[in-house]
Structure 1
Amino acid sequence: MSPALDVLGFDNLLLPVGDLGTAVAFYEAAGLHVKFRFDEAGIALLAAGKETPGVLLRAEDGFGPRTPPWPAARLWLEVADARAAAEALAAAGIAQLDAPFATSTGYVVEFADPWGNVIGFTDYLKRPELARN
């Protein structure tokens, strides 16, 4: 493979949203933190751990609420305990797509924002040697 085509890592994931303020409030309630917000450009960057890249929310004109299609693209973010994250989501009033489910490495809980973007919180409780420290 050509060195120009070697993927070096994750940069940013862009999620379309209909309203930046509503989106920021939703994701903050879900436990994500805003690294920066630039309302004039209609963007806000959510932190993804200690990495520089993150989840970029981008306001799109005329993009209204929608239910996530099944199957839909998904972004899973690592957390220490996905089942505990599910409890925190419920306490914040954020509906889960389903109960937390097991994977070969741990557990996952998924939820959708008002525009149908699906986010999962996943852990490595079954394979702690693979987890971030």
Structure 2
Amino acid sequence: SGSTGSCSCNEQFDQFVLNGLAEATFSHRNILINFEYSWLSRTAPNFFFPADDLATSCRFYQDVLDLPVKFDFSENGMVAFRVGNEEAAIILKERKKFPDMAPTLWIEVEDVRAKYAVLQGRNIRFLSEPFRIRTGWAVEFVDPSSNRLGLVDYQE
């Protein structure tokens, strides 16, 4: 299987970190990935979106889109909504608590710290070193078009 659509970014994406993807469609700030890949996990990713008003955004996802709440850490500025029957979630992050928040796609891997060590030699612009989250480890980076992506593991 090859590409299912256009890739408005350069051909260099094929050489980028996600080179195990069999099918992908990319457009401005919207990413759709068909999960046939090598080192990436086989679970669906999490999508992070900034929320100017967390309560208003939560009502939209819960009441308008009928998405069930996956977790509610609103006291920490985050609420997640389950997408389908997979582990995938849309996670809202309140801008007041996360002023540098940008739309982000997190992809689960087996071990973030091990994958980070491998990927450091592949010319990737990481935004930080791996950091602890409630359920394991995460690290974020940007692709050649400055789209934000992250790797996450759930080792806790």
Instruction: Give the TM-score band, short-chain normalised.
Output: 0.5 to 0.7
Cα distance, 1:75–1:37 mapped onto 2, change above 3 Å: closer
The structure that is strand-richer by fraction is 2
C-alpha RMSD of matched pairs (Å): 3.2
- 5+ long unaligned stretches in structure 1: 1-13, 39-43, 55-69, 127-133
CA shift in 2, pair 1:72/1:37, >3 Å: closer
- Unaligned ranges ≥5, structure 2: 26-31, 46-99
Secondary structure of the 2:22 match is strand
Partner of 1:75: 105
Indicate if the aligned counterparts of 1:72 and 1:118 stay in contact, CA closer than 8 A.
yes
2:9 is the counterpart of 1:22? no
4+ aligned runs moved over 6 Å, structure 1? none
Offset of 1:93 from its aligned partner?
Answer: 2.3
Q: Which has the higher contact order (CA 8 A, sep 6+)?
A: 1
Contact between 1:106 and 1:125, CA under 8 Å: does it hold in 2?
Answer: yes
Q: Give the paired residue count.
A: 88
What residue identity is the alignment partner of 2:133? Answer: T
After superposition, where does 1:1-133 map in structure 2 within 5 Å?
Answer: 17-19=8-10, 21-26=11-16, 30-36=17-23, 47=35, 49-50=41-42, 70-126=100-156
Q: Which amino acid aligns with 1:116?
A: S
User: Percent of counterpart pairs with the same letter?
Assistant: 29
Shift of residue 18 of structure 1?
A: 2.5
Secondary structure of the structure 2 residue equivalent to 1:34:
coil
